[in-house]
A and B are shown apart, each in its own frame.
Chain A
Amino acid sequence: MTAQAVVDYLAAQQRLEPELPAPDLPWLVELRDGGVERLRVAGFPSLRDEDWRYTNVQSLLKKPFEMGSIGQCDVDAAFVSRTAIPSLECHRVVVVNGIPIPHLSDATLVPDGIRVSSLADLLVSDPGRLEPYLGKNLVPDPHGFTAMNSAFLGNGLVVEIAPGQVFDKPLEIIFVASAATESTMAQPRNLVVAGKGSRLQVLARYVAIGAQETLTNVVTEVIVDADAHLTLYQLQEESKNSFHIGGLFAKLRRGSRFDAFAITLAGGLVRNDLRVDLDGAGAEVNLRGLYLARGRQHIDNHTQIFHNEPGCISHEHYKGVLDDRARAVFHGRIVVQPDAQKTVSEQSNQNLLLSRDAEIDTKPQLEIYADDVKCAHGATVGQLDKEALFYLRSRGIAEETAKRLLIKAFANDVLLAVSPDSLRDHLLTRVEMMLAD
């Protein structure tokens, strides 16, 4: 199965290659060829790979996904306003099947200091701006899906924040998976470069239109330059027929700060790979995650934090609630390299199991090669506290309501760190809606 999928996707890549933007740019060709080669050699991951032992992608590989286009795009202004978060003031960009759609975006309204471009356009018009960054954050031997994204590298979104620019209004990017026909796939490649001392909040939302099966295989590379502060919310709101493989690779320079939220409220099979390299002294990363899963959803969060330089701080806090036959995987790896003295690192993963058939596999890992460090991690799996439930019931609160209250409080822990308020309220409402049905 896996071998056949590799052959099929490599053939599709070959057919598509001549149409990809900037087909003669040497460094770009090298990047794409590297992806092809890696996919050919490594293939797609299977349960035999240690990093994929709890996540089976056979169901995904069985389906022949075709690269989506915007030919018969059914995304219009009405859809965008329906999807928009109420009362959230932001700059908005819409990307359909990996292709930025200018007429649905208000990119012109984006203030000076933030440049939002289509990757395809930039590869043709000014590739020099991309060369220092594109593909540089990836690990040397990425898994098959990341390799495939590099092989198909053609479009996506580029966000550049000029040095010293500070913005209060978030930038909202809506990635729409739209399958006009059966089994459509999108492979956007995004790049966010936060210049020295800049500050911005980016909200990346993944939504689906229609109930067809879609595959989103997205790779996002993030560079946070010295003393910059970037916040990235990743919101998974696709449908239960969506397959989502997301790779986020961030490099942090001296004194910078990166806050990343991974909030998964939908999606049939979701796998998020997140790797953060703390490459400058005094950098700080805060990762927060929330996953609510039900039905037969499968959510896999795979995070890696590398402390490569001294004096860096990392906090990681993931929480999950699993109902029905849902299954979640958490893998959190923290590596402290030999020279990364004075590291402070803290990680926790907490899970609530609500049903007999739900399952959680959690694997927090610490790998420490320096001695002057303070590291801790913790993981818990449990159910709703019977005493807390009894307390609420003894005060006349119905059992169902009491349970919802407790779950909401559990999830709230992660959401409290979200700002602005309108975004937090939206997420809280979504969580409540999920608990209500």
Chain B
Amino acid sequence: MSSATAEISALVDREYKEGFITDIESDTLPPGLDEQVVRAISAKKNEPPFMLEWRLEAFRRWQAMVEPSWAHVDYPPIDFQAISYYSAPRSPEDAPKSLDEVDPKLLETYEKLGIPLQEQKALAGVAVDAVFDSVSVATTFKANLAEAGVIFCPFSEAVRDHPDLVKQYLGAVVPQGDNYYAALNSAVFSDGSFVYVPKGVRCPMELSTYFRINAMNTGQFERTLIVADEGSYVSYLEGCTAPMRDENQLHAAVVELVAMEGAQIKYSTVQNWYPGDAEGRGGIYNFVTKRGACRGKRAKISWTQVETGSAITWKYPSVLLEGDESIGEFYSVALTNNRQQADTGTKMVHIGSNTSSTIISKGISAGRGQNTYRGLVKIIKGAEGARNYSQCDSLLMGDQCGAHTYPYLEVKNPTAIVEHEATTTKIGEDQLFYCRQRGLSEEDAISMIVNGFCKEVFRELPMEFAVEAQKLLGISLEGAVG
């Protein structure tokens, strides 16, 4: 795998160089960030005045903040003035003309994941002139959604077409000044998704960013807002198992979820950004703020994530359990190989009565990876009858990796029952021996044991995602043992 990643690295580096040539294009702002840049971004997107004000407020707050340093990760300081905060989608001339120009190792990975040819082209960034199949799929998709009354569109479109909804909910869960990266995102966010599910509607299909073709290449400062009105249900899939090509090193996304009375939001993520080469050079910094609020009674928000990519992951999908009997769930598999670092976990804040939360976190460390679970379970004084169960297990592969657990439990109400348990082990020699003895190769045996370790999380994923996630884990671990 290390040679494969090195070659992918070469590919990414090449792209990056070419990215600079497009500087002359009028649609790319020069590197640097000041108030003018924020105004320019807003102007380029034809945003209404309230949006600009909101961005400027966020920018002012960001200026007064300092970069957080408490996470268990290590990276050189980021020069925020060296980043270009707006670039229009790359022009097709820069992209590879056909799959022949794409790194064969990358293609090999796609092959292993069983990705259809047309999708491979899209993922590798091949310029496609002809309308390919999934566009028509997407069209039918949109028709179905419209019939159900579900709004699913790029964020910038929502700002234009549904300004009242955006005004009402933007920043309602993650305010502009929430943290350093959320403030930065609020000031300069490029685009993202907006979802509104009306009262009593069960969204007829899984919503996936993958089908939102017209809003590709918005990865760097993505902003997602999902509102599920009373009694509705929506399942949202983010990311994709195939390694995504991306030339931006810093990613600071914000995801806000709002679930009203009796509503359910299921948010699944598979994150496989470029992790850097075996020595940890390059690779994406993924600093994400994700938070959901259960606003009404019996609301439910469920986060499921499979994190295998990025050089550094810094992400704590959280749930504010405001409504009585509301439920928060967090299921996570985080894998770090080579020199990857992940500091991830969740926050469950119990505010209403009889709220409950479940946290299942599985960390796998291989190579020189450092994997940290950091979580908070907070039961405020008025939260009667709160219940939490947390389980954080770590699997170690290789003697130079690390696995760390930092749970915070803050309980201010005596009727709460809070349980946390964590274990750290390596794959047992006896387990391996048992599998080998029955004719499994070492690699298959490890893959099987690891998948068993992660089963509790995978079963929360939508079916086809779960299958891909299993394959992905196997590929990410190739060469980690033996």
Contact = CB atoms under 8 A, between A and B. Distances in A.
Interface of A: 50, 54, 338, 341, 351, 353-383
B399 A341 contact: yes
A332 B401 CA distance: 22
A380 B403 CA distance: 22
B68 to A, nearest CB: 12
Interface string B395-439: 011111111111111111111111111111110000000000000
Interface size class of B (residues with CB under 8 A): 35 or more
A361 B409 contact: yes
B409 A366 contact: no
A329 to B, nearest CB: 10
Given A371-B401, A373-B396, A380-B418, A356 B408 contact: no
Contact of B402 (A355, A356, A367): A367
B70 A50 contact: yes
Given A368-B424, A371-B397, A354 B405 contact: no
5 contacts: A356-B414, A366-B422, A379-B407, A382-B418, A383-B417
Nearest to B408: A363
A327 B379 CA distance: 14
Nearest to A364: B407
B406 A371 contact: no
A381 B411 contact: yes
Interface of B: 70, 72, 379, 381, 394, 396-426
B404 A368 contact: yes
Contacts of A370: 396, 399
Given A361-B408, A364-B422, 11 more contacts: A54-B410, A359-B412, A363-B409, A365-B406, A365-B407, A367-B404, A372-B426, A373-B396, A373-B425, A380-B417, A381-B417
B424 A373 contact: yes
Contact of A369 (B402, B417, B419, B422): B402
A354 B419 CA distance: 17
Contacts of B418: 379-382
Nearest to A374: B425
A125 B332 CA distance: 62
A354 B400 contact: no
Nearest to A54: B410
A364 B405 contact: yes
A370 to B, nearest CB: 6
Nearest to A323: B414
B424 A381 contact: no
A362 B383 CA distance: 18
A350 B80 CA distance: 45
B403 A366 contact: yes
A374 B424 CA distance: 6
Contacts of B417: 380-383
Contacts of A354: 414
B406 A363 contact: yes
Given A366-B422, A378-B419, A383 B409 contact: no
Contacts of A382: 416-419
A238 B399 CA distance: 47
B408 A368 contact: no
A378 B407 CA distance: 10
A378 B420 contact: yes
B148 to A, nearest CB: 43
Nearest to B396: A371
